[in-house]
């Protein structure tokens, strides 16, 4: 089986929605690119190029329903090797042509939209697992390997797992996981992707190829892996990834609890984690989401727990959780709620269905210190519900750390039927401005795992403060012509306005 990208919603048309500046590609440059690898052009096959120029950004689903994408690549290049990526970048660097990487195109922030046209690099053909060191437990995979293909190979032939299971497991590539600094649903046991990366192969803007990391630990200056983890295609193309793995275990523990109040449940999760109980899955649903999806009565907060691994560790973890939860007023509930979650956890049909009904919906995930969870929850709900046409704001806690947790908000507005796209855009923008700024103001960060892309680009400077200029300096040094995914991550854009 080889997985390929999954379109987010049907698209009939290829009009451009964003009014950003576009970069033309000369016939001679096009023929040089075509000598390197297969290419598809917007002038000969705009529909295919339109598919390859979009991702799962929920706002753009409204555009797709009207036959529009954000913008079209002038050329999609389909490289098969690091060498081909390197040659393409050298050409684009020389000619100052924007290059936007596309993996599974499951990003939800518009990160792989080529806002200035130019070249989209379709990395999905670079899909080989190139090495498995079973003794050290390290796998090396090309960037375009999808989750199901990676895990099938590792589990079936080597008895190991990376343990990275994002909701988009079927939709995303290894390179995209790393480029977006993603998190899987089992992250409280296995960590985020940045905890799993051992080393990277990266092609820089000028076409040179570097290798970063490669060892279990080091004191060789700053860790260069982390320059590229989360860089979302703005600093280089990640062509190969070395990841840590764990032995597969078939032993699991599961539990489900109900709390009378949300803040009791927050406190219970904090206590469990602070007592070193790190079950793979620890998911807390506010009363709205508990009632909507987990059998809650409308006032209770439901928490689901699942762990896997060595039986003694799993049993001790579940027992520590039970003790901390009981001390905070929890009632144990039937464990089959976990099975229900497992069955439905990757279902995305509600997103498409609600979009077709005209809802403007999106999700906003942020990292919050334990001490500020209640404040951030209240501030985001209040701010987002005060925006035009807002109808719902709910949250769950999806990933936990010693010092904080991820709050994952689901936000919805319902403008009147047949609202023009420009007003859909402004409804979405108002919702995000209110929610994101309320989160930042109450003590959260900008993003936990979806990344920044185009949607959150406008908040980067305020989120990073004076540190932003250091990031911009790194960008300028690695990509002096600014060709790597321009318009994203808040960087100075040498090609003008992105149109968003
Ligand atoms: C239904 C749904 C659920 C999701 N759930 C989760 C979740 O649980 N956890 C989570 O972390 N994310 C989740 N996401 C978001 C998304 O799946 C992740 O961000 C994923 O890591 C993106 O991978 P991709 O291969 O699809 O990347 P793309 O969407 O193709 O690209 C994303 C960004 O990374 C850049 N990029 C891609 N590949 C490379 C590369 N090789 N080198 C350099 N830059 C590159 C692109 O230019 C773009 O800026 C979800 C998305 C959807 C649609």
- For the cut 80, the answer to whether the pLDDT of residue 330 exceeds it is yes
Whole-angstrom Cα distance, residue 54 to residue 113? Answer: 5
Whole-angstrom Cα distance, residue 283 to residue 255? Answer: 11
| CATH code that applies to domain 129-247 | 3.30.465.10
* Topology at the third CATH level for domain 252-344: Alpha-Beta Plaits (3.30.70)
pLDDT at 434: 98
Radius of gyration of the chain (CA): 22
The residue written with tokens 């792989």 in the block is 112
pLDDT at 137: 98
Region 282-307 average pLDDT = 97
pLDDT in tens, 445-500: 999 999 999 999 999 999 999 999 999 999 999 999 999 999 999 999 999 999 99
Q: Which atom of ligand 1 is nearest to the CA of 103?
A: 30
Count of beta carbons in the 10 Å neighbourhood of residue 439: 30
- For the cut 80, the answer to whether the pLDDT of residue 110 exceeds it is yes
Beta carbon of 284 within 6 Å of any ligand 1 atom = no
pLDDT in tens, 180-237: 999 999 999 999 999 999 999 999 999 999 999 999 999 999 999 999 999 999 999 9
pLDDT at 270: 98
- For the cut 90, the answer to whether the pLDDT of residue 24 exceeds it is no
> Residue 68 has which token pair?
């529009």
Query: Residue 246's beta-bridge partner residues?
Result: 161
> From atom 2 of ligand 1, which residue's Cα is the shortest distance away?
168
> From atom 5 of ligand 1, which residue's Cα is the shortest distance away?
167
Distance 320 CA to ligand 1 centre (A): 34
Beta carbon of 187 within 6 Å of any ligand 1 atom = no
- For the cut 80, the answer to whether the pLDDT of residue 1 exceeds it is no
Domain ranges of the chain: 15-125, 129-247, 252-344, 349-455
pLDDT in tens, 353-369: 999 999 999 999 999 99
Beta carbon of 63 within 6 Å of any ligand 1 atom = no
Region 16-27 average pLDDT = 95
Q: Which atom of ligand 1 is nearest to the CA of 144?
A: 41
Going by pLDDT thresholds of 50, 70 and 90, the confidence category of residue 2 is confident
Q: Which CATH class is domain 15-125?
A: alpha beta
Distance 448 CA to ligand 1 centre (A): 13
pLDDT at 317: 98
Region 242-270 average pLDDT = 98
Residue of 7, 70, 167, 180 to test ligand 1 pocket, by largest number of atoms within 8 Å of CB? 180
Residue of 105, 150, 179, 489 to test ligand 1 pocket, by largest number of atoms within 8 Å of CB? 179
* 3-state SS record for the chain: CCCCCCCCCCCCCCEECCCCCCECCCHHHHHHHHHHCEEEECCCCHHHHHHHCCCCCHHHHHHHHCCEECCCCCEEEECCCHHHHHHHHHHHHHHCCCEEEECCCCCCCCCCCCCCECEEEEHHHCCCEEEEECCCCEEEEECCCEHHHHHHHHHHHHCEECCCCCCCCCCCEHHHHHHHCCCCCCHHHHCCHHHHEEEEEEECCCCCEEEEECCCCCCCCCCCHHHHCCCCCCCCEEEEEEEECEECCCCEEEEEEEECCHHHHHHHHHHHHHCCCCCCEEEEECHHHHHHHCCCCCCCEEEEEEEECCHHHHHHHHHHHHHHHHHCCCEEECCHHHHHHHHHCCCCHHHHHHHHCCCEEEEEEEEEEHHHHHHHHHHHHHHHHCCCCEEEEEEEEEEEECCEEEEEEEEEECCCCCCCHHHHHHHHHHHHHHHHHHHHHCCCCCCCCCCCCCCCHHHHHHHHHHHHHHHHHHHHHHCCCCCECCCCCCCCCCCCCCCC
pLDDT in tens, 428-440: 999 999 999 999 9
Half-sphere exposure of 460 (CA within 13 A, CB side): 21
Residue of 103, 235, 490 to test ligand 1 pocket, by largest number of atoms within 8 Å of CB? 103
Buried b (16+ CB within 10 A) or exposed e, 468-487: beebbeebeebbebbbbbbb
pLDDT above 90 covers what percent of the chain?
99
C-alpha distances out from residue 231 to 63, 83, 169, 310, 483, Å = 26, 21, 20, 35, 14
| CATH code that applies to domain 349-455 | 3.30.300.330
Region 282-308 average pLDDT = 97
């Amino acid at each position: 089986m080889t997985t390929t990208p999954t379109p987010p919603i049907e698209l009939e048309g290829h009009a451009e929605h964003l009014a950003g500046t576009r970069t033309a590609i000369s016939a001679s440059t096009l023929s040089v690119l075509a000598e390197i690898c297969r290419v598809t052009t917007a002038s000969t096959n705009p529909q295919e190029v339109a598919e390859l120029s979009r991702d799962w950004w929920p706002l753009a689903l409204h555009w797709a329903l009207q036959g529009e994408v954000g913008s079209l690549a002038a050329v999609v290049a389909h490289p098969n090797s690091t060498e081909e990526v390197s040659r393409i970048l050298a050409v684009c660097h020389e000619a100052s042509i924007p290059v936007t990487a596309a993996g599974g195109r499951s990003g939800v922030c518009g990160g792989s939209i080529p806002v200035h046209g130019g070249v989209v690099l379709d990395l999905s053909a670079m899909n080989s697992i190139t090495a498995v060191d079973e003794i050290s437990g390290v796998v090396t995979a090309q960037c375009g390997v999808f989750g199901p293909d990676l895990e099938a190979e590792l589990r079936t032939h080597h008895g190991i797992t990376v343990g990275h299971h994002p909701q988009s497991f079927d939709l995303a590539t290894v390179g995209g996981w790393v480029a977006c600094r993603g998190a899987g649903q089992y992250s409280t046991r296995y960590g985020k992707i940045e905890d799993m990366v051992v080393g990277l192969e990266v092609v820089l803007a000028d076409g040179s190829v570097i290798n970063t990391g490669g060892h279990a630990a080091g004191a060789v200056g700053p860790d260069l892996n982390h320059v590229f983890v989360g860089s979302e295609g703005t600093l280089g193309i990640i062509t190969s990834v070395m990841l840590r793995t764990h032995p597969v275990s078939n032993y699991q523990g599961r539990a489900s609890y109900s709390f009378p109040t949300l803040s009791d449940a927050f406190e219970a999760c904090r206590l469990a984690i602070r007592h070193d109980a790190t079950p793979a899955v620890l998911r807390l649903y506010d009363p709205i989401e508990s009632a909507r999806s987990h059998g809650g009565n409308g006032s209770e907060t439901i928490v689901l727990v699942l762990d896997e691994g060595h039986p003694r560790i799993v049993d001790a973890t579940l027992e520590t959780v039970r003790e901390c939860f009981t001390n905070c007023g929890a009632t144990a509930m039937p464990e089959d709620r976990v099975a229900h979650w497992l069955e439905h956890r990757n279902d995305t049909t509600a997103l498409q269905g609600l979009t077709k009904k005209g809802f403007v919906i999106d999700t906003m995930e942020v990292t919050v210190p334990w001490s500020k969870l209640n404040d951030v929850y209240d501030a985001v709900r209040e701010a987002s519900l005060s925006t035009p046409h807002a109808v719902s704001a709910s949250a769950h806690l999806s990933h936990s750390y010693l010092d904080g947790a991820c709050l994952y908000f689901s936000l919805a507005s319902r403008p009147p039927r047949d609202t023009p796209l420009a007003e859909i855009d402004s409804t979405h923008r108002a919702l995000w401005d209110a929610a994101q700024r309320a989160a930042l103001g109450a003590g959260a960060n900008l993003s936990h795992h979806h990344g920044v892309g185009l949607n959150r680009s406008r908040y980067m400077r305020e989120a990073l403060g004076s540190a932003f200029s250091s990031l911009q300096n790194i960008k300028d040094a690695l990509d002096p012509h600014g060709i790597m995914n321009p318009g994203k991550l808040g960087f100075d854009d040498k090609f003008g306005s992105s149109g968003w």
